[in-house]
Amino acid sequence: MKEKSDSELINKLILDGAIEVSGIESDTGNFLYSFTPKIKELMPDVYQDHIKSVNDEVMNLWEKGFLDIDLFSEDPIITITKKATSREAIGTLSKKEKWSLSEIVRLLHKKA
């Protein structure tokens, strides 16, 4: 029953423009979703949880030396380090950390 309600919620959020398909999980073939700015108004609690999770992952990768962050800037600037391009170093990360790093790299390249 929970699976059906999750699916219904995802479909509703897609129709409302709050999430969009962003890729396919290579191991399972399941869709990957990303939030759009609309999630902030439709589900503020989910938005705040997501922001906290993203911030935690960024800080974790910074602590491990994969990211540089200008913490003194009003709008902190994130850049990748040499370590973030090392296959050997990336191999030490968990699956979640690898995914987070690849998303950060993708978004930084998209911005450029």
Give the pLDDT confidence of 66-76 residue by residue, as tens digits. Answer: 999 988 888 88
b/e map 89-111, b = 16+ CB within 10 Å: beeebeeebeebbebbeeeeeee
Task: Give 3's pLDDT tier (boundaries 50, 70, 90).
Answer: low
The span from the CA of 19 to the CA of 109, in Å, is 22
Q: What are the Cα distances from residue 101, in Å, to 9, 14, 32, 51? A: 28, 25, 16, 16
Output 30 or 1, whichever has higher pLDDT: 30
Tell me the two tokens of residue 45.
């609690």
Q: Which pLDDT score is estimated for 1? A: 44
Percent residues over pLDDT 90 in the chain: 62
b/e map 14-48, b = 16+ CB within 10 Å: eeeebbeeeeeeeeeeeeeeebeeebeebbeeebe
> Average pLDDT in the 35-53 region?
94
Residue ranges of domains in the chain:
1-42, 44-112
The span from the CA of 101 to the CA of 90, in Å, is 9
